[in-house]
Amino acid sequence: MLLDRRCYVPNRVRNSNDSIFYHLDDLHAAIANDWRITFKYFYFTPKKQKAYYKKGELYTASPYALLWSDNNYYLLAYEGGKMKHFRVDKMDGIEVVPQKREGKEVFKEMKLSERSLRMFSMFSGKVQKVKIRFSNHLANVVIDRFGKDIQMFPDDEKHFTIHTDIEVSPQFFGWVCGLGKAVRILAPAEVVEEMGNYVKGIAEMY
């Protein structure tokens, strides 16, 4: 049987970690057959040792899509009453469970291609309409990040603005910082304040 292997790609594909590919067949099978999965989810300590979330207890989740972002595969799955992203290379002992998936209505309401443009590094946050000003030389960066359909409004001879939905998170602020003085958040005031606090917090460390 040929599986419907849907993989939503929000960012440009780069070299992947081949060690995770043996997990993908199980995940594709679970998605295609409308089944759930179980797994353990881990992170690394400063000593480079594995440590497990939930004290090593199994997660039971309903998988819906695989996404590629920032050189990593992520699984979009319904777990704990909401949709979440899990790094596939941080999932241990994946097992397919022949039980019908949960969260179908939640998944149907999602527009993955649009949501991927709002998120930064698969970190979700509160969706807000954010106005940002860029130097003209960053037009290509903006199009690469938000897509060709993004509207760019001239602000003056050297700048343009965009007004778009963003899932505001520390990763978004980090992206803005990476562009330096060529970019500035203009609105809403709440996000401007959060950005200022983010920068001050980093400055205090130095």
User: In which residue ranges of the chain is CATH 3.30.70 found?
Assistant: 117-204
Residues of the chain whose pLDDT is less than 50? 1-3, 11-17, 117-118, 121-122
pLDDT tens-digit map of 39-55: 999 988 878 888 999 99
Chain region(s) in the chain for CATH 2.30.30: 7-110
- pLDDT at residue 154, rounded to an integer: 93
The confidence score (pLDDT) of residue 116 equals 52
Residue 205 Cα distances to 23, 41, 201, angstroms: 40, 31, 7
Say whether pTM exceeds 0.85. no
pLDDT at site 3: 45
- Which top CATH class is 7-110? mainly beta
pLDDT at residue number 8: 55
**C-alpha dist (Å) from residue 95 to 37, 62, 80, 101, 144:** 5, 12, 18, 14, 36
**Helix, strand, coil content of the chain in percent (nearest 5):** 35, 40, 25
Pick the CATH number of 117-204 from 3.90.1720, 3.30.70, 3.40.50, 3.30.1370: 3.30.70
pLDDT value of residue 13:
40
* CB distance 69 to 118 below 8 Å: no
What is the overall mean pLDDT for the chain? 84
Q: What is the tens place of the pLDDT at every residue in 86-117? A: 989 889 999 999 999 999 998 888 765 555 54
